[in-house]
Amino acid sequence: MKYYQELLNSLERGDIAPVYLFYGEEGYLREQGEMCFRHALLPAETADFNLDLLDGETVDVKEIVSRAQTPPFMAPRRLVVVRRAPFFGGRGRGAAERDGAKASDGTVRDAVLLDYLKRPNTTTCLLFTTDQPVDQRRRLFKAVKQVGRAVEFTFLAPRDLIRWLHKRARQAGLEIEAEAAALLVERVGRSLFLLAAEMEKLTAYAAAEKSITAEHVRRVTVPGVEESIFAVVDAIGERSPVRAIKGIRELLAAGQSGPAIAAMVARQFRLLLQAEELLGSGCPAGELAGRLEVHPFVARKIAAQAGNFNRGQLIRALTELLALDAAVKTGRREFYPAMEMFLLSM
């Protein structure tokens, strides 16, 4: 979350560049960043006169430049936001030509923006946002970085997600237990859009209580794929093939493909084998998450599951899963009957 905090800190200091590009997969923070710029740069009494919201997919670039060159009205700055900006992505074959001197539509469009970026209006903050991949080799991207700032909004690290959930809970007058926060991230994933929606449901559900518990999370949210895989492997380790087969059926019903399920089960057994070897060589349990590059909550579950298997069983499981995957992909076997036989054999 460091990049986001640095952005907010620069706003507080009044260190404002004439042009920004917000890109990356974390859409919630991108939207929050845009709102922070609106609040910081636009006095309420003149905000309507100094804010332009443009759709990059439909607006003409000359219109963008015209708005950016317009002086602010009774305020220090003007803010021009171009959402869904399509100007910074790679464009496949011919992209190099369109970034060069040939007079194609793309080159003309780029030339207009590049010309503006040579001498950007210092009383305007021009903000481009996009959820599409960005090609950092493009001249437009480099020009933005030269005169302004390009900020990549990446998904938060697990520890930052947990802190964010604790903060959201406190804002609602509640606490969230550590196990509950970890389980919520495991089930929902790293998107703050989805986590915010689930937290809204959880705070309403637990409003009469002091804290959000793991049981609240289990009742309100839908199990994630990784949790379902854990359940399948738990069932295998506990010698409960019926429960394991039921878990596979549920994954198939949820839309997961056979090869994807086989790959996820294989990944789980690889983690179990790595954990067994690490713990057997004296690795402290507290360091397991870092060595496996998983969340501590996940590492604890892996360590517990590893005790259900010996090294030979884990190697055998991986070998059989490899053969199963090859047979399914070449059409020699159907996934479900093959996986059922694997589960029964384990």
Could you tell me the CATH number of the domain that includes residue 171?
Answer: 1.10.8.60
Query: Could you tell me which residues come within 8 angstroms of residue 162 by beta carbon, excluding any fewer than 6 positions away?
Result: 178, 181, 182, 185
Identify which of 234, 265, 255, 238 has the alpha carbon closest to the alpha carbon of residue 342.
265
Query: Residue 101: which pLDDT band, with cuts at 50, 70 and 90?
Result: very low
Query: Residue 181: which pLDDT band, with cuts at 50, 70 and 90?
Result: very high
Q: Cα(10)–Cα(209) distance, rounded to whole angstroms?
A: 39
Identify which of 178, 52, 60, 181 has the alpha carbon closest to the alpha carbon of residue 124.
52
Q: Which domain holds residue 38?
A: 2-152
Residues 147 and 289 occupy one common structural domain: no
Q: What is the 3-state secondary structure (H, E, C) of 137-161?
A: CCHHHHHHHHHCEEEECCCCCHHHH
In this predicted structure, what is the pLDDT of residue 106?
A: 63
Residues 71 and 181 occupy one common structural domain: no
- Give me the number of domains the chain comprises: 3
Residues 329 and 254 occupy one common structural domain: yes
CATH of the domain at 312: 1.20.272.10
Three-class SS state of 125 = strand
Query: Could you tell me which residues come within 8 angstroms of residue 16 by beta carbon, excluding any fewer than 6 positions away?
Result: 10, 41, 77, 125
* Residue that is last in its domain, among 107, 125, 152: 152
Residues 132 and 162 occupy one common structural domain: no
* Residue that is last in its domain, among 220, 242, 268: 220
In this predicted structure, what is the pLDDT of residue 166?
A: 95
Residues 321 and 256 occupy one common structural domain: yes
Beta bridge partners of 23: 152
Question: Looking at the predicted structure, is the pLDDT value of residue 274 above 80?
Answer: yes
Mean pLDDT of 51-57: 94
In this predicted structure, what is the pLDDT of residue 173?
A: 93
Residues 197 and 104 occupy one common structural domain: no
Residues 123 and 257 occupy one common structural domain: no
* Whole-number Cα distances in Å, 24 to 134, 136, 157: 8, 12, 14
Are 99 and 110 contacting, i.e. CB atoms less than 8 angstroms apart?
A: yes
Identify which of 153, 107, 118, 160 has the alpha carbon closest to the alpha carbon of residue 134.
153
Mean pLDDT of 131-151: 94
Residues 336 and 280 occupy one common structural domain: yes
Percent of the chain past pLDDT 90, that is, above it, reads 49
Question: Looking at the predicted structure, is the pLDDT value of residue 287 above 90?
Answer: no
Residues 178 and 278 occupy one common structural domain: no
Residues 205 and 302 occupy one common structural domain: no
Residues 22 and 92 occupy one common structural domain: yes
Entry pTM? 0.64
Mean pLDDT of 128-153: 94
Question: Looking at the predicted structure, is the pLDDT value of residue 39 above 90?
Answer: yes
Mean pLDDT of 31-50: 92
In this predicted structure, what is the pLDDT of residue 90?
A: 63
Question: Across the chain, what does the average pLDDT equal?
Answer: 87
* Residue that is last in its domain, among 117, 152, 187: 152
Mean pLDDT of 110-138: 94
In this predicted structure, what is the pLDDT of residue 96?
A: 40
Question: Looking at the predicted structure, is the pLDDT value of residue 55 above 60?
Answer: yes
Residues 332 and 216 occupy one common structural domain: no
pLDDT tens-place string over residues 212-241: 999 999 888 876 666 777 788 778 777 788
Query: Residue 190: which pLDDT band, with cuts at 50, 70 and 90?
Result: confident
